Amino acid sequence: MNQVNRNDRLGPVKREFVQFFVLLKHFTVRLLNNDILKYENQKRESLIVLLTILAVAGGLVSAVLLMPYVGGMLGYTFDTAWIEKSFFITLSMAFTGIISVLNWDNMYLDEKDYLYLSGLPVKTNTLYAAKFFSLLVFVGMISLALNIFSTLVFTLYLGKIVNLNPFYDTGVFGFGLVHLVSGFMANLFVFMLVALIQSVLMTLLDTRRFKKVSMVVQAFLLMGFISVFAWFPKVYSSIDTFKESVSSFVYYFPPMWFVGFYEQMVGNYDFVFKPLYYIAGIAVVLMCDLYLLGIPLSFRRFSRASVVTGRGSKLTGPAVRLKGWFDSRFLEHPLEKAIFYFSLTTLGRSRRHRLHLVVSLALPSAFVATELTVLALTRGWDYFKGFDILSAAVPYVLYVFLIVGFRTVVLHPVMEEANWIFRMTELNSPVYYLRGLKKAFFFVGALPLFVLLLLFYIFCWGVIPAFYHSLSAFAASFLLFELFFVNYRKMPFSSGYVPGKANIKAFWFLYLGGFAAWVYFLSKLGIFLLENPLYYFIYYMGIYVLLYLVREYRHRKLKGFRFVFDEEPEPAMLSLGLDV
Amino acid sequence: MCNMKVISILVMASVVLLAVFYAVMEEDPCEGHRGTIVTRTFYSKWVRDKFKVTVYLPEDYEENRSVSYPVIYQLDGNNQGKLTAILASHSRCRGIVSTGIIVVGIGYYYDGWYDKRTRDYTYPRPDTSAKYYMYPGAGGGVRFYRFLKEELIPYVDTAFRTDNATRGRTLMGHSLGGYFALFTLFYDYQNERNPSKLFRNFIAVGPALDFNRDYLLDLETKLVLSGAVPERVSVYMAMSDREDTGPVPVFPILIMRFNKWEYPGFRFLTRRFENLKGPETIIPGYKEGLKFIFQD
């Protein structure tokens, strides 16, 4: 029998350090294991690929930006290099912003951390410090990936020029270091800014409301960050003018703070950059302080709240009657009804699926909103009064992404091992399953979008043309939906999923071409119909005939089919072509 | 490099501000398990194998020599014995549980421990279509039960100051360990000629209820029909909402069955953790189970 002395072998300080590093690793891994990467079951590989793409993209963008400096083109000197830096830092911040939104749930200590750690002898300060440093490590990794090649490019292209200038007082190594530090600070600021928004929401809202509002805020933030890629290149050409005129834009545009920091650190003591240098430092320190203040608040709210919540509230009164009317009117068959509510409940409960849908919509929405805003600012609101192809194309772009997003999301199972219930109850009437799915899409996806577009076009064109155009686009989305689901043979959110079947790498040009052709053709047609409303009759007849043909084709092709629950990889993936 | 002074001042000021904030924050004074740990290799005649039994004594065990303590028998003791000891110690320090607890971790030596736990925590031998058929030694639960009853528990009761009268012994486990805890409850009260009332408290977290289809449900039915009366028994069951995905959802059925138990002094608590994967339920499940059993 062995007896161990009551004194622990580790001293208290060493024990705390051990705990700190264990927690640091745990939190960092959770930040890296993003929901977006989870589908492929190859998180580590996906992460390495993502970081490599970032590194290469950062290097390529830098090389293209700084090309004129290599040739010594007229007008490109050490004094103008800050413009390219502003471009690079802005895009880098926007990208980090997107990553931070995708990591929304891992920003602070969450319910899971509370469940694990509140019963263990871990000092709260150790816990909070580990969380904070995990964020620093994560942002550091992203910054390093974004800047590893760009640092080389910037140092090689600009370091020499910089050091020829007697007013600059940094060495080549120092220049590279400044590039890295500035990038890290800029990215850290964005990350902490998103965290600050979250902590404000957490303070103002209770847990239930916070969860609901979070998704909306994430969608808007995503759109905001994505839109930077659309509008900043347009502003970029004027940024020199802003600086020369000491425009307030320079002070209110955060990337410029870090450009100021960068320039001051490499020795460019331009009077415009000096205050920006201070602002950058203050902003980062302030954000970190606020974040550190927010950690205890986030953790303690779980001790107040009931940790395990119920399944949501039940409907009462008029809502029940409304639901009853809706069900009897639109969901006649019980299978339809079951799949309809199953789809809605899944989307409501699975953050992963919601996030995918939001991401697929945020991308086009951001670009559309940016383009429209730029048009409004450059050509005035009157521009939208006429029937223009750009404004007419909006619904077609959005519907395509909505349908693609929905199609992708339903393919991914929430919990594949639970699909036995569908296997056991599968009836020989798949049409009702598909109808339920289709109705879920139209009532929660297409219909709200139709209303939003209608409001937009009423503002632009007035009620009648707005209604005509929105409705025609809505009808086209029916056809597109049918086309996208023509070969669909899976139980939504339940069947197994093998990635790579779409083979985007090989067919991207076909997808892109198809998308461009669809949007262009229908936008042109839309304008033609607005100018010749009598042809709407033919248009709807055409849509109806095409819908009929597509459905007939599907019925014939999938006659008597069974749902696919276990998808097999492509034969080529199994044998790698070595079986010949 | 230009004006570093201001940046330095800012950084220093923020560090001071945060240091003050964190210093005034209420700190948790509780530490982990600091009591004596006794390890013994235990050869079982019933199982015909050796076990690594680790006993975690409460902090005040040596000082309060007149006090006896309740005992938790922790399955999968290699990695969960210490965890339970830490949870028990920490919970006591924070006033969540009202007494010191002796934790007996029943572990293995690391040569095929997974096969051994499958051998010991399961009963009966799984039929060919059952999930655990791939483990050839599975189904030795009754032998393991006899080891507990006739070898380990008598040793623990002799070697340590145990209090089995106030609250009774506790059997605690996760996954197959949770299955064995529930199996013991049903088996002990009906299959033994004289129900030994070996354990009164059962904590089953993420129990592998799909073992051998719905065998546990049959066992529960037999217990109820046998007329045995499990008195003053407490059961805590927890599960992640990502488990129990087999064709027969045993967890909710078992909950319904337990809710119908009207035996004297029977206490039952269940919990389904949302968004936690299987092993992630261990800490919150054990924590809550300890609170349920040992809080006054």
pLDDT of res. A389: 84
Residue B18 · residue A289 · CB < 8 Å:
yes
Q: What is the pLDDT of residues A230-266, one digit of tens each?
A: 888 877 878 888 888 888 888 889 999 999 999 888 8
- Specify the pLDDT at position B134: 65
- A103-117: pLDDT as tens digits: 888 888 888 888 888
For residue range B80-108, list pLDDT tens digits in order: 999 999 999 988 888 888 889 999 999 99
User: Which residues on A lie below 8 Å from B62 (Cβ)?
Assistant: 6
- CB A474: neighbour CB atoms within 10 A? 19
What is the residue type of A397?
V
Question: Residue A5: its pLDDT value, please?
Answer: 46
Which residues of chain A make contact with B27, given a CB cutoff of 8 A?
Answer: 123-125
Question: What pLDDT, in 10s, does the model give residues A12-60?
Answer: 677 778 888 999 998 988 888 766 655 445 566 777 878 888 888 888 8
Q: What is the mean pLDDT of chain A?
A: 81
* pLDDT tens digits for range A433-463: 888 888 888 888 889 999 999 998 998 888 9
| B169 Cβ contact list (under 8 Å, min separation 6) | B70, B71, B72, B73, B153, B198, B199, B200, B201
Which among B34, B35, B284 has CB closest to A116? B284
Q: What confidence score (pLDDT) does residue A529 get?
A: 93
Q: Do B37 and A4 touch (CB under 8 A)?
A: yes
A359 and A456 share one domain = yes
Closest residue in chain B to residue A265, using alpha carbons only: B1
Domain assignment present for A562: no
- Which pLDDT score, from 0 to 100, does residue A7 have? 45
Please check whether residue A285 lies inside any domain of the structure.
yes
Q: What is the pLDDT of residue A471?
A: 93
| Domain-located, residue A45 | yes
Nearest residue of chain B to residue A280 (CA atoms): B7
Residue A30 distance to chain B (closest CA, Å): 14
| Total tally of structural domains belonging to chain A | 2
CA-nearest residue to A269 within chain B is: B2
Quick one: average pLDDT of A315-319?
72
- A183 & A257 share domain: yes
Which chain A residues are Cβ-neighbours of B18 within 8 angstroms?
A: 289, 292-293
Of A2, A7, A120, the CB nearest to B90: A120
State the Cα–Cα distance between residues A527 and A422, nearest whole angstrom. 46
pLDDT of A330 above 70: yes
Residue with tokens 């051990």: A18
Nearest chain A alpha carbon to B271: A308
**In the prediction, which pLDDT does B7 show?**
65
CB contact under 8 A, B36 and A128: no
Please check whether residues A365 and A286 belong to one and the same domain: no
**Are residues B28 and A116, on separate chains, in Cβ contact within 8 Å?**
no
My answer on whether A421 and A543 are in the same domain is yes
φ/ψ of B202, rounded to 5, equals -135, 125
Residue A323 lies in a domain: no
Nearest to B245 among A264, A309, A418 (CB): A418
Name the range with the highest mean pLDDT among A207-211, A389-393, B271-275: A389-393
Q: Is the pLDDT of residue A298 over 90?
A: no
CB-based contact B86 A121, cutoff 8 Å: yes
CA nearest to A284 within chain B:
B11
* B227 touching A (Cβ < 8 Å): no
Domain match, A390 and A260 both = no
User: What single string gives the DSSP state of each residue in A52-105?
Assistant: HHHHHHHHHHHHHHHHHHHHT-TT-STTTHHHHHHHHHHHHHHHHHHHHHHTGG
User: What share of chain A has pLDDT > 70, as a percent?
Assistant: 83
Q: How far apart are CA A70 and CA A359, in angstroms?
A: 38
Looking at beta carbons, which residues of chain A come within 8 Å of B14? Answer: 285-286, 288-289
* H helix or E strand, kind and range, residue A344: helix A334-349
Please answer whether residues A217 and A72 qualify as being in contact, where contact means their C-beta atoms are separated by less than 8 angstroms: no
Model confidence at A568, in pLDDT bands (50, 70, 90)?
Answer: low
Facing A415 at nearest CB: one of B21, B245, B273: B245
Residues A277 and A382 in one domain: no
One domain for residues A231 and A354: no
Selecting from B7, B17, B89 the residue whose C-beta is nearest the C-beta of A281 gives B7
List CB contacts of B168: < 8 A, sequence separation 6 or more. Answer: B70, B197, B199, B200, B201, B232
Q: Are A463 and A454 in contact (CB under 8 A)?
A: no
Q: State the pLDDT confidence band at A499, using cuts at 50, 70 and 90.
A: low
Residues A299 and A361 in one domain: no
Cross-chain Cβ contact A8/B287 below 8 Å? no
A350 and A240 in a common domain: no
Task: Please judge whether A111 and B273 are an interchain contact, meaning their C-beta atoms are less than 8 angstroms apart.
Answer: no
Q: What is the dihedral of CA A180, A183, A187, A188, to 10 degrees?
A: 50
pLDDT of residue A477: 92
Which residues of chain A neighbour B37 with C-beta distances below 8 Å?
Answer: 3-4
8 Å CB contact of A418 and B31: no
Specify the pLDDT at position A306: 43
pLDDT of residue A327: 85
Chain A residues within 8 A of B60 when measuring between CB atoms: none
Are A71 and A115 members of one domain? yes
Say yes or no for a CB contact (<8 Å) between B246 and A420. yes
Residues A276 and A336 in one domain: no
Q: Is the pLDDT of residue A468 over 80?
A: yes
Contacts of A124 in chain B (CB under 8 A): 25, 27-28
Residue B172 CB contacts under 8 Å (≥ 6 apart), including other chains: B72, B73, B74, B75, B84, B181, B202, B203, B204, B205, B286, B289
Please state the length of chain B: 296
Residue A316: inside a domain: no
pLDDT in tens, A117-164: 877 888 888 888 899 999 999 999 999 999 989 888 888 877 666 555
B282 vs A307: which has the higher pLDDT? B282
Nearest to B27 among A125, A282, A286 (CB): A125
The confidence band for A4, taking pLDDT boundaries of 50, 70 and 90, is low
On chain A, the residues whose CB falls within 8 A of the CB of B35 are 6
Q: Which of residues 243-272 of B touch A (CB under 8 A)?
A: 245-247, 271-272
So what's the pLDDT on residue B55? 95
Q: Which two tokens stand for residue A435?
A: 């109808």
Specify the pLDDT at position B247: 58
Q: Give tens-digit pLDDT for A268-295.
A: 778 888 888 888 988 898 898 889 888 8
Of residues B127 and A399, more confidence is placed in A399
Whether residue A161 lies inside any domain: the answer is yes
Q: What is the pTM of this model?
A: 0.77
Q: Which residues of A touch B276 (CB under 8 A)?
A: 112, 115
Asked if residue A337 and residue A275 are part of one domain, the reply reads no
**Rounded average pLDDT over A539-560:** 87
List the single residue in B10, B36, B242 with the smallest CB-CB distance to A6: B36
Question: Is A321 inside any structural domain?
Answer: no
Q: Tokens in use for A257?
A: 């703070």
pLDDT reading at A8 higher than 60 = no
Interface predicted TM-score (ipTM) of this complex, two decimals: 0.74
Q: Is A311 part of any domain? A: no
Whether A119 sits inside 8 A of B274 (CB atoms) is no
In whole angstroms, give the CA distance from residue A278 to residue B9: 12
pLDDT at A309 over 50: no
pLDDT tens string A159-200: 666 555 555 566 667 788 889 999 999 999 999 999 999 999
Which single residue is written with the structure tokens 């201070």? Answer: A278
Which B residues, 80 through 119, put their C-beta within 8 Å of a C-beta on chain A? Answer: 86-87, 89-91
CA distance A17 to B215: 47
Our CA-based measurement puts residue A250 at a distance from the nearest CA of chain B, in whole angstroms, of 21
Q: Which of B1, B34, B242 sits opposite A8 (nearest CB)?
A: B34
Look at phi and psi of residue B197 and say left if phi exceeds 0, alpha if psi is from -120 to 50, else beta.
left
B contacts of A2 (beta carbons < 8 Å): 38-40
Cβ-count burial A167-201 (b if 16+ within 10 Å, e if not)? ebebeeebbbbbbbbbbbbbbbbbbbbbbbbbbee
**Predicted local confidence at residue A361, as pLDDT:** 83
The reply to whether residue A282 touches residue B246, judged by beta carbons under 8 angstroms, is: no
Residue ranges, chain B, pLDDT below 70 = 1-8, 11, 18, 20-29, 110, 128-135, 191-196, 242-248
Q: What residues of A are in contact with residue B21 (Cβ under 8 Å)? A: 292-293
| Structural domain span for residue A370 | 331-557
* pLDDT value, residue B3: 57
